Chain A
């Protein structure tokens, strides 16, 4: 059995919580930390670099699990802006919905939003994977450089605007594509990629029903006839 360490934010400050997670997590055994009474607080479990399981029992605010490395963080509720921003590895799971900029500029690891994510989900992502069980808001995957965004529901306007090499898969409707993003045929490799991510996210959907969106790469070189603003 995992050793469970309860940390109650009704008694501890955010500083004390993060200080414990950075410097005083026991090593060796499998450790599970339960964070109680998050009550929408910001910056919980940021900057972790340990293979621990962290459960946040309730709704939380901005930047939850920001810059995470190695830890598995689960939020049993909704989160505010920029959950798992710039995360490097590990898994971050939100059982509810996420506000704007979920997984912004993430370099690695897996972010799962079980319900909906708001605008700019996966903005500027740099190699991480994001699976959203529901829908995402407008400008999602804006300037996304690398990694994969899987959206089981619908995608809002300007999906994948100014996309680089990241790949987007959408199960539902796409409201509109952004500049330089285009829909492309699904290949066997794409189906395998979606299958793997859905499995890791624990979400059941037919991977063949997804549409693939990638970069047209017409903005990669600066020339007058690209017809785009730079």
Chain B
């Protein structure tokens, strides 16, 4: 008998699938986790800019001005949101994130001149105080939702869905439901808290119109109303949101992050951000409101190049979530304490993971103190340190954006256009609706 071990891994039942089946059989529960889709998807990396040359001339990188000012909510609101950069901070709840992190986001955003967004669980006073421009989410759960905070907001975001879990509700597992979190949500401490997937007081687009009007009436038509949706039937959904009266539409692609949801949602529901954005733009153009109703895109935005490409494809701004956490040290092997870097590898190990692979936000035991309510962990990320890191990161995104815009000959980042892009793959060309590099071919169009 040969002592050779025959190793032919099955493509259909590879080690990941085996592990999934074994775990399901052992626990009788599906996997819940944080962050976004991990599988390979077409992304903005599959596009490149046709920067200036003889046929177009570039702007001088250091000397010539390139405007990044961004105005959102010009359709109906008396006070549109005015930002210094089109990079905004996505809605992430206090509960999912620690109070320190929320404060850090507010401080950094205020210094850079952009907005932060509340999340499921309501507005904390620290957040309102630290963030000059704060968007208040109205979610299906309505946890902590109240008219006083509504009137304190600079904009309202009615959340219909998220890219990580379109059609699904939210969850916050018991270990994160501290006394303060439970108090804000009117729930018992330590229970696994579910958020509904549908709003309690309206269903369907006709009701949405009336709901938006109610929010406008309560806030005296002062502030913009955003409608946020996970990217599925984007063209139809954007049209319905516009018809219902949204000032701003937010589309969150399938790569979008979450603090906790079912793995089957994260990897198998919704369409990639790259495919969603052109559909949203198409819907706005078909309704003749492109430029009147602003578009924010999110889901997997990482760099200034991603932001520039999103703007070139027609977005007015982007929102970032996971990248914010990463700027604060998510998946880093160390955290900072009194100027020292402290190794956190053992804490990752306790979660059964390692730096670079962690997606354990749902556990509340974040090794670097970001997605936690535990007193021993949340001090690992101080507002001062976090604000500095995030400010730097936002600054880099904006600088990369203006650098690329100048190289395309634009004195305003919002002048970037589809024409400035080509695709490196056939898939990206078809989704982004730009030609495959070196050809005039846009699959499905030309």
The 9 nearest A-B residue pairs measured at CB = A224-B28, A47-B218, A82-B201, A67-B147, A105-B142, A104-B201, A104-B200, A124-B200, A220-B191
Does B217 belong to the interface (CB within 8 Å)?
yes
Interface residues in A75-94 (C-beta closer than 8 Å to B) = 81-82, 85-86, 88
The answer for the CA separation of A22 and B214 in the assembled complex, in Å, is 13
B192-A67 in contact (CB<8A): no
B191-A221 in contact (CB<8A): yes
Does B146 belong to the interface (CB within 8 Å)?
yes
Closest CB in chain A relative to B34 CB, distance in Å:
15
Interfacial chain A residues near B141, Cβ < 8 Å: 124
B194-A63 in contact (CB<8A): no
Chain B CB within 10 Å, residue with most, of A120, A143, A146: A143
B220-A19 in contact (CB<8A): yes
Segment of B40-48, B205-213, B229-237, B241-249 in the binding face: B205-213
Of the candidates B142, B147, B211, B217, the one whose C-beta lies within 8 Å of that of A18 is B217
Chain B 143-161 against A: per-residue CB contact (8 Å), 1 yes, 0 no? Answer: 0011100110000000000
Does B17 belong to the interface (CB within 8 Å)?
no
B186-A146 in contact (CB<8A): yes
B residues touching A (Cβ–Cβ < 8 Å)? Answer: 27-29, 141-142, 145-147, 150-151, 171, 173-174, 185-188, 191-192, 194, 196, 200-202, 207, 210-211, 213-214, 217-221
B187-A47 in contact (CB<8A): no
- Contacts A120-B200, A145-B187 given: A66-B218 contact, CB under 8 Å? yes
The answer for the CA separation of A110 and B230 in the assembled complex, in Å, is 36
Interfacial chain B residues near A142, Cβ < 8 Å: 200
A225-B201 in contact (CB<8A): no
Chain A residue nearest to B24 in the complex (CB): A224
- Contacts A62-B210, A81-B201, A220-B191 given: A225-B218 contact, CB under 8 Å? no
A43-B210 in contact (CB<8A): yes
Chain B residue nearest to A224 in the complex (CB): B28
Chain A interface SS verdict (over half): loop
Does A11 belong to the interface (CB within 8 Å)?
no
Interfacial chain A residues near B210, Cβ < 8 Å: 42-43, 61-63
Closest CB in chain A relative to B236 CB, distance in Å:
23
Instruction: Knowing that A86-B201, A124-B196 touch, tell me 20 more A-B residue pairs with CB under 8 angstroms.
Output: A14-B217, A43-B213, A46-B218, A47-B219, A86-B147, A101-B202, A105-B201, A107-B186, A120-B200, A123-B201, A124-B200, A143-B196, A143-B200, A164-B187, A164-B188, A165-B188, A220-B174, A221-B192, A224-B28, A230-B194
Closest CB in chain B relative to A87 CB, distance in Å:
9
Q: Can you list 10 residue pairs at the A/B interface with Cβ under 8 Å? A: A67-B146, A67-B147, A82-B202, A86-B142, A86-B145, A88-B147, A101-B200, A104-B200, A105-B200, A123-B200
A22-B207 in contact (CB<8A): no
Closest CB in chain B relative to A20 CB, distance in Å:
11
- Contacts A43-B214, A230-B194 given: A145-B186 contact, CB under 8 Å? yes
Of the candidates A49, A219, A222, the one whose C-beta lies within 8 Å of that of B147 is A49
Does A24 belong to the interface (CB within 8 Å)?
no
Does A138 belong to the interface (CB within 8 Å)?
no
Interfacial chain A residues near B213, Cβ < 8 Å: 42-43
The answer for the CA separation of A101 and B210 in the assembled complex, in Å, is 14
A46-B200 in contact (CB<8A): no
B147-A105 in contact (CB<8A): no
The answer for the CA separation of A165 and B221 in the assembled complex, in Å, is 36
Interfacial chain A residues near B219, Cβ < 8 Å: 47
Chain B residue nearest to A126 in the complex (CB): B186
Chain B residue nearest to A105 in the complex (CB): B142
Interfacial chain B residues near A124, Cβ < 8 Å: 141-142, 196, 200
A224-B27 in contact (CB<8A): yes
Does A127 belong to the interface (CB within 8 Å)?
yes
Closest CB in chain B relative to A160 CB, distance in Å:
15
B201-A88 in contact (CB<8A): no
Interfacial chain A residues near B196, Cβ < 8 Å: 124, 143
Does A59 belong to the interface (CB within 8 Å)?
no
Chain A 147-185 against B: per-residue CB contact (8 Å), 1 yes, 0 no? Answer: 000000000000000101100000000000000000000
Interfacial chain B residues near A230, Cβ < 8 Å: 171, 194
Does A95 belong to the interface (CB within 8 Å)?
no
Interfacial chain A residues near B201, Cβ < 8 Å: 63, 81-82, 85-86, 101, 104-105, 123
Closest CB in chain A relative to B144 CB, distance in Å:
9
Closest CB in chain A relative to B135 CB, distance in Å:
18
Of the candidates B29, B147, B173, B211, the one whose C-beta lies within 8 Å of that of A63 is B211
Interfacial chain B residues near A219, Cβ < 8 Å: 192
The answer for the CA separation of A22 and B27 in the assembled complex, in Å, is 54
Interfacial chain A residues near B207, Cβ < 8 Å: 62, 81
Closest CB in chain A relative to B375 CB, distance in Å:
22
Of the candidates B145, B147, B186, B221, the one whose C-beta lies within 8 Å of that of A69 is B147
Does A223 belong to the interface (CB within 8 Å)?
yes
Does A208 belong to the interface (CB within 8 Å)?
no
- Contacts A164-B187, A224-B27 given: A105-B145 contact, CB under 8 Å? yes
Chain A residue nearest to B209 in the complex (CB): A42
Closest CB in chain B relative to A226 CB, distance in Å:
10
